Amino acid sequence: MPPPEHMPIGLDLTRTHKLVSQAFDAALAEAGATRPIWLTLLSIKSRTMAIQREHAEAIGIQGPTLTHHLNALETQGLLVRRRDPANRRVHQVELTETGEAMFLRLRAVAIDFDKRLRAGLSEDDLAKFGSLLAALRTNVGQ
């Protein structure tokens, strides 16, 4: 295997993704949550009164997986689901007061974590990093 300074970019990116994800998951766990909880609350907060299918697409999961998360969050009193009066087959999802409080707590965790990631990086570094990530996505056809 090549020395670390010559590690293939895909392996280095995968390793970095794993470490950053684990650190973010640990920060969320300290706040009493998980990444699926955070992503679900964020999606609901960002898409007021959106339907469940839209939330699943935004999070990048399948409908049945989202239903499992929504059931758990509803049981915890973090959200409510209501039938859309215009289409009874559609559920609308919104945060409760408790859900809003959890969202705000987790948003603070995410902001702090982002600051931690950005430590020591200039605005130019961040702009270049964003461009490099976009180039990598383009290179793999995304």
C-alpha distances in Å from residue 96, one per residue of 14, 102, 103, 135:
37, 10, 10, 40
> What is the value of pTM for the model shown?
0.82
pLDDT in tens, 13-34: 999 999 999 999 999 999 999 9
- The domain at 10-112 falls in which architecture? Orthogonal Bundle (1.10)
Query: 85-114: per-residue pLDDT in tens?
Result: 887 777 788 899 999 999 999 999 999 999
